[in-house]
Amino acid sequence: MVIMQNYVIKKEDLNKLVERALDDYDVYAPVQKKSIHVYDQISDPASMDLNYGQTMTSAKKLFNPPVENMMTFDFDKKEIKDRLEDTIPETPSLIVGLHACDINGLLFLDRVYGGEYDDLYYQKRREKTTIIGLNCLESCESGFCRSVNTHIVLEGYDLFLTPIEDERYYVNVGSPKGDRLITLAPDLFEEATEDDVDAFRKSLQKKHESLPVEFHLDNLTETLDMAWDDPIWEEIGEDCMNCGSCALVCPTCYCFDVVDEVGLDLKESTRKRKWDTCLYYDFALVAGNHNFREEPEARLKYRFYHKMRGAVHDQGIIACTGCGRCIDACPAGISFLDVLAQLQKNWASAPTIEGGN
Amino acid sequence: MSDNGKPKVGIFGLTGCAGCQLNILNIEDHLLDILGLVDITTWVMAKQENSDGPWDIAFVEGSVAKESEVERVKKIREKSDVLIAIGACATHGGLPAIRNMRDIEEMKETVYGEQTSHLDVIPIKPVSHYVDVDAELPGCPMDKMEFVRAVMALAMKKTPQVPNYSVCYECRVNENPCLLDEGKFCMGPVTQAGCDSLCPSYGAACEGCRGPIAQVNWGAEVKILKEMGATADQIRRKFLKYCPSTADMEDFQELTL
């Protein structure tokens, strides 16, 4: 393993770095949109707003867009064309200001879109993207990252910034792509001194003290195994409208639907994929009009179980980054965190936060 | 089929503002393509000479508001292989059906004075109340691209599909802030998508013009609106403004507003 040098950069100089990067990269960053924040392409560093709690949808949309052309068919020529090269932008991307939860979200998607089956649409974008992460020293409104251990990242970033005293960032370099950013603007970075390391440590301590642990991950799988018939599913089923907002904003929900759209001349067709969610009736509808999850609350329960139990089975980790977006997005005010905490209270068999049982 | 092998299409208007028919005329970019796929043999709004049928496909706009329209829509049905209801009036009664919530004799007098004997008005119903409908393209007005896709599907002998999920999908994809969070009485969570969240994208609450999605959880929406301070009357208006036929549905009648 290569030991990377750590640096510091002034907060105001980060804008200068982004300014220089704009020549080589399509740059994406959190920007304010009405009352919320979203990741958007920027042409001016002044439009980014790194002082944000959470973006409405996750950075997933930059790697797996809501709609994507996969291939086209020409009926006359009997030709099929792969659209992979057309859909992936030629210019590499730089994303600035990704929080640890979102980086962990991408690490989860890497497993799903890699591994047994390679999803090249996702992976090509991932390869061509450089990520500047940003450490959160304080909890955001609905997030519960520390409860699910996603408040820290060990990989998945190219540079990782931690705010330290004197309006500066402590910079961890995570990859050669991060090194390249530094060589773009070596005058803006300084090697971290012992005092800087000390300041970094203080920031981490502050983070440690301010991020709460709201439920225990330890006994989650057992809890869910036992809670299949818990009345809570019916209770929240009464509030859930199956609108799918929670899944659409989720950084780890990866499901999509594949549709063929025929052109008006009926001579060509485009195969597209679109975000889909298990909250929708059509999702588990199969031939013969059979539906595996006929009832709305069955679909809601399925989402909980897939994320927090099924994913452990498939991937070895839960499919939740504690970003809290599902809580913010739910029109009915259903809280993923509250549901898990309640189940744990009802079914705990291992140590709880209170240390009981 | 016409002699040229293209399906014969009729476009008809019952009671409504004719905005959906106008929207078909507004599809300038694709109208020639559509004419390449089908022969429009009847369309009083746009053609001088119109056939009496039969038709392979009939598009019917507007609600059934008069005795004479019951006969008319039945005749169209008899002469058509496929019948598609277009727009909120045809699919759910639409705005004209606010008439159903008032005393009809009083309304007749308010509008026409004492001379009302020539009126054959009846309670307003969607087209499907009187005849079998093969597909519905909801909305006020009907989305013109949805119409284009429907024509294509029918030309390929497929059933036109409308999204079976709520407007929230489109709001999240378009990254609109949730209007319920802003205190607006938005019907998005229980309304069928397909408009690309047009109103919420401009900050206006969804009025539910595309009607309820299948398996809709009305109770949850009512609860949200109540918690936001909406009165029973306001909630009722929200649900029934564009889709008064909703009031006939058992699940809706069971709601405590």
Nearest CA in chain B to A331: B180
What secondary structure, in 3-state letters, does A302-353 show? HHHHHHHHHHHHHHCCCCCCCCCHHHHHCCCCCCHHHHHHHHHHHHCCCCCC
Closest-CA distance of chain B to residue A210, Å: 27
Q: How high is the pLDDT of residue A182?
A: 95
For residue A157, what are the CA distances in angstroms to A111, A174, B84?
A: 16, 6, 53
d(CA A254, CA A65): 11
Q: Map residue B103 onto helix, strand or coil.
A: coil
Cβ separation of B33 and A244 shorter than 8 Å?
A: no
Q: How high is the pLDDT of residue B53?
A: 85
Cβ separation of B223 and A239 shorter than 8 Å?
A: yes
Q: Which residues of B touch A329 (CB under 8 A)?
A: 172, 178
Overall average pLDDT of the B5-23 stretch: 95
User: What does the DSSP assignment read for B21-39?
Assistant: HHHHHT-HHHHHHHHHH-E
Closest-CA distance of chain A to residue B192, Å: 10
Look at A166 and B226; give whichever has higher pLDDT. Answer: B226
For residue A23, what are the CA distances in angstroms to A63, A97, A244, B78?
A: 21, 19, 38, 66
Q: Which of A281, A282, A331 sits opposite B178 (nearest CB)?
A: A331
Residues B21-57 have pLDDT tens digits of: 999 999 989 988 888 889 999 999 999 999 998 999 9
Q: How high is the pLDDT of residue A3?
A: 57
Cβ separation of A281 and B214 shorter than 8 Å?
A: yes
Q: How high is the pLDDT of residue A351?
A: 54
Q: Map residue A164 onto helix, strand or coil.
A: strand
Q: How high is the pLDDT of residue B50?
A: 96
**Alpha helices, H only, chain A:** 11-21, 84-87, 100-112, 120-127, 176-184, 194-210, 220-226, 232-239, 245-248, 296-305, 311-315, 325-329, 336-347
Q: How high is the pLDDT of residue A356?
A: 46
Query: Is B216 within 8 Å of chain A by CB?
Result: yes
The contact set of A with B (CB < 8 A) is 33-36, 38, 56-57, 66, 238-245, 248-249, 262, 264-266, 275, 280-282, 296, 329, 331-333
User: Nearest CA to A37 among A111, A115, A130, A141?
Assistant: A141
Residues A265-311 have pLDDT tens digits of: 889 999 999 999 999 999 999 999 999 999 999 999 999 999 999 99
Cβ separation of A238 and B33 shorter than 8 Å?
A: no
Overall pTM > 0.90: yes
Q: Map residue A173 onto helix, strand or coil.
A: strand
Closest-CA distance of chain A to residue B173, Å: 7
Q: Which of A329, A332, A333 sits opposite B172 (nearest CB)?
A: A329
Q: What is the DSSP pairing of strand A268-275 with strand A290-291? A: unpaired
d(CA B201, CA B179): 10
User: What does the DSSP assignment read for A75-97?
Assistant: TTTTEEEE-HHHHS-SS-EEEEE
User: Nearest CA to B97 among B74, B120, B68, B122?
Assistant: B122
Which residues fall within 8 angstroms of residue B232, CB to CB, at 6 or more apart?
B257
d(CA B83, CA B135): 7
Cβ separation of B164 and A296 shorter than 8 Å?
A: no
Q: How high is the pLDDT of residue A349?
A: 62
Nearest CA in chain B to A40: B175
User: Nearest CA to B138 among B49, B69, B201, B61?
Assistant: B61
Q: How high is the pLDDT of residue A118?
A: 93
Nearest CA in chain A to B201: A34
Closest-CA distance of chain A to residue B73, Å: 29
Cβ separation of B33 and A264 shorter than 8 Å?
A: yes
Give the count of Cβ contacts less than 8 A between chain A and B: 96
Look at A89 and B125; give whichever has higher pLDDT. Answer: B125
Q: Which residues of A touch B148 (CB under 8 A)?
A: 264
What's chain B's average pLDDT?
94
| Percent of all residues in chain B with a pLDDT value above 90, rounded to a whole number | 80
Q: Which residues of chain A have pLDDT under 70?
A: 1-4, 349-357
Cβ separation of A296 and B33 shorter than 8 Å?
A: no
Q: Which residues of A touch B186 (CB under 8 A)?
A: 331
